[in-house]
C-alpha cells in the first residue's frame, strides 16, 4: 500500500518588493492568483491533505482562494521555512510523504512534482534542483566526492568557494514519511538570519543514512519565483509564450504569438485564426473556422463554427451561433445568446438578450433584456428602454419584424410578427403583426425663426 501524500504550500510572506498591500501570493498571473496556480498543480498529484501556511494579510489569502479542500494554517510570526512547516505538522500524516511547495513559485508542472513523489516513495528525500548562471541569491547544493548530496548552504551563509557552485536549491522537496516530525523538532536558528531553515533537514537525512536524491525540471521557468512586479511581468510573458506555443502546435493561426493573452482556458477547433492583442478570460471555446480580429476581449464565451469577430469587440458571458458577423466595436454582455447567421455591427450593445437566426442589428443600437426572433432587422439608433428607474422589463420582437432607425421601444412591449416600426418612433404599446406602427408629430415649419448668433465679446 502506497504512503499517503501531504502537500504543504508555504505562502506566509508579505512580498515587500511587490510594493503592495496585497499579500504576494494573491497577485495575479494569467488572470488568477499565483497561489491558485500552485494549488492547481498540487491537486493534480491527488494528495490526501493539502495545507497552505499563510501569514501576512491575515484572512485575505484564504478568503480570496476560498477552497474547501485546503487546510489553512496561520503562521503569525514568520520565522523561516522550517518554522512554517512546523505550524502545519499537526494536520499532516507524518507517515506519509510530504511535498513542500511555495506559493510564489507558480509554474512548476505537475509532471515534475509526480516525478519527485515517485522517487520519495522508495524512502528518499528528494530535492528539486537546477543549475543556474549566475546562481546568486539561491542556496547551493553541496555534494561530496562521490557526488552524493551532503547539505544545502544558503547564499548568505555560503563561503566564497561555495558560492561558485551553480546547482541551486529551489526549496521544493519531498520528505519521506516517518522522519518529518523528528527532523523538524531538531531545527535550530543559529544562522545569520536567525531563522529555522527547512533545508537543515538535508544534513539530518545524511546523518540518518536516508538517501538524498535530486530531480531536475524540464524547463528552468518551472522553478522561477516572484518577488517583484518585474518578475511577475517576466513570468506572465513566459506563461503566455508557452500557451501560444501549444496553440500553434494545435493548428491555431496566431498573427503574432507574442501578442496574445490567455487568462483561463482557450479551446480551439480547426482553422481558428487570432489576430494581435486579443485577451481570452475564463473558459473560451472557439469552433472551427472562427476568426477573432485585433484587440478583442472574450470572457467565458462559446463561439460556433464560421463566426467572424471583427476588431475591438468585447464579448462577455455569451453564446454565439454559427456564421455570425460581430463588430467591429461591438459589446455583447452577459446572458446573451445569438442564433446562426446573426449580424451585430459597429457600436451595438446587447445585454441579457436572445437574438434568433438571420437577424441583423448593424449600427449604433442598444438591445437589453430582449427576445428577438428570426430575420428581424433593427435599424440604427434603436434602443430598448428596459429600465423604468426601479425594475427591468422585457421587449419581444417577433420573427420578420422591421424596426426603423432611431426607434425607442419602451418595455414591456411586444412587436408582432412581420410588423414594421416607422423610423423615429417611440413605441409604448404592443405593435400588431404585419402592420405599420409609428409615432411622430406632424411635420411643421416655423416661419421667421432664426438661429441664435454667437455674442461678440
Q: Are 92 and 6 a contacting pair, CB within 8 Å? A: yes
The architecture in CATH of the region 229-437 reads 3 Solenoid (2.160)
Q: Where in the chain is the domain with CATH 2.160.10.10?
A: 229-437
The rounded distance, in Å, linking the Cα atoms of 155 and 136 is 7
Q: Are 390 and 407 a contacting pair, CB within 8 Å? A: no
* Non-local CB neighbours of 161 within 8 Å, separated by 6+ positions: none
User: Under CATH, which number does the domain 5-223 receive?
Assistant: 3.90.550.10
- Is 83 part of the annotated catalytic residue set? no
Whole-number average pLDDT of the chain: 94
Cell numbers 427591468 correspond to what residue? 392
Q: What global pTM score does this model have?
A: 0.90
pLDDT tens per residue across span 56-102: 998 999 999 999 999 999 998 889 999 999 999 999 998 899 999 99
* Non-local CB neighbours of 84 within 8 Å, separated by 6+ positions: 10, 12, 53, 75, 78, 198
Backbone angles phi, psi at 35, to 5 degrees: -60, -35
Q: Where in the chain is the domain with CATH 3.90.550.10?
A: 5-223
- Indicate which residue of 216, 219, 363, 393 is catalytic: 363
Tell whether the model's pLDDT for residue 316 goes beyond 90.
Answer: yes
pLDDT tens per residue across span 213-229: 999 999 999 999 999 99
Total length of the chain: 457
Would you state the pLDDT for residue 91?
Answer: 95
Burial of 362 per CB tally in 10 Å (0-12, 13-18, 19+): middle
Q: Are 359 and 341 a contacting pair, CB within 8 Å? A: no
Amino acid at each position: 500500500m502506497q504512503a499517503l501524500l501531504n502537500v504543504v504550500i508555504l505562502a506566509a510572506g508579505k512580498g515587500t518588493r511587490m510594493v503592495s498591500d496585497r499579500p504576494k501570493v494573491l497577485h495575479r498571473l494569467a488572470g488568477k492568483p499565483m497561489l491558485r496556480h500552485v494549488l492547481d498543480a498540487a491537486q493534480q498529484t491527488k494528495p490526501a491533505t493539502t495545507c497552505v501556511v499563510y501569514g501576512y494579510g491575515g484572512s485575505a489569502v484564504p478568503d480570496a482562494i476560498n477552497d474547501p479542500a485546503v487546510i489553512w494554517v496561520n503562521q503569525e510570526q514568520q520565522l523561516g521555512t522550517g518554522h512554517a512547516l512546523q505550524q502545519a505538522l499537526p494536520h499532516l500524516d507524518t507517515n506519509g510523504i510530504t511535498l513542500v511547495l511555495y506559493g510564489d513559485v507558480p509554474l512548476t508542472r505537475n509532471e515534475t512534482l509526480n516525478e519527485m513523489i515517485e522517487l520519495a516513495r522508495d524512502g528518499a528525500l528528494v530535492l528539486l534542483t537546477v543549475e543556474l548562471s549566475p546562481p546568486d541569491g539561491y542556496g547551493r547544493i553541496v555534494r561530496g566526492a562521490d557526488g552524493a548530496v551532503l547539505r544545502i548552504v544558503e547564499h548568505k551563509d555560503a563561503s566564497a568557494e561555495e558560492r561558485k557552485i551553480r546547482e541551486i536549491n529551489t526549496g521544493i522537496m519531498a520528505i519521506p514519511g516517518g522522519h518529518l516530525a523528528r527532523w523538524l523538532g531538531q531545527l535550530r536558528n543559529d544562522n545569520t538570519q536567525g531563522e529555522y531553515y527547512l533545508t537543515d533537514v538535508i544534513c539530518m537525512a545524511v546523518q540518518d543514512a536516508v538517501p538524498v536524491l535530486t530531480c531536475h525540471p524540464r524547463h528552468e521557468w518551472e522553478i522561477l519565483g516572484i518577488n517583484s512586479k518585474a518578475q511577475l511581468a517576466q513570468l506572465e510573458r513566459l506563461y503566455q509564450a508557452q500557451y501560444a506555443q501549444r496553440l500553434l502546435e494545435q493548428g491555431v493561426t496566431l498573427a503574432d504569438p507574442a501578442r496574445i493573452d490567455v487568462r483561463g482556458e482557450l479551446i480551439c477547433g480547426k482553422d481558428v485564426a487570432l489576430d494581435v492583442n486579443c485577451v481570452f478570460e475564463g473558459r473560451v471555446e472557439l469552433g472551427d473556422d472562427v476568426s477573432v480580429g485585433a484587440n478583442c476581449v472574450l470572457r467565458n464565451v462559446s463561439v460556433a463554427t464560421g463566426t467572424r469577430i471583427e476588431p475591438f469587440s468585447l464579448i462577455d458571458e455569451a453564446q454565439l451561433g454559427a456564421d455570425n458577423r460581430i463588430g467591429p466595436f461591438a459589446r455583447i454582455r452577459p446572458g446573451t445568446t445569438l442564433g446562426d447567421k446573426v449580424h451585430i455591427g459597429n457600436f451595438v450593445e446587447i445585454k441579457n438578450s436572445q437574438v434568433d437566426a438571420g437577424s441583423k442589428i448593424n449600427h449604433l443600437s442598444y438591445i437589453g433584456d430582449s427576445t428577438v426572433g428570426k430575420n428581424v432587422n433593427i435599424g440604427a439608433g434603436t434602443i430598448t428602454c428596459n429600465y423604468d428607474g426601479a425594475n427591468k422589463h422585457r421587449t419581444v420582437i417577433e420573427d420578420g419584424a422591421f424596426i426603423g432607425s432611431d426607434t425607442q421601444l419602451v418595455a414591456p412591449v411586444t412587436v408582432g410578427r412581420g410588423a414594421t416600426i416607422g423610423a423615429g418612433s417611440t413605441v409604448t404599446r404592443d405593435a400588431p403583426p404585419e402592420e405599420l406602427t409609428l409615432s411622430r408629430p406632424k411635420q411643421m415649419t416655423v416661419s421667421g425663426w432664426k438661429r441664435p448668433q454667437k455674442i461678440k465679446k
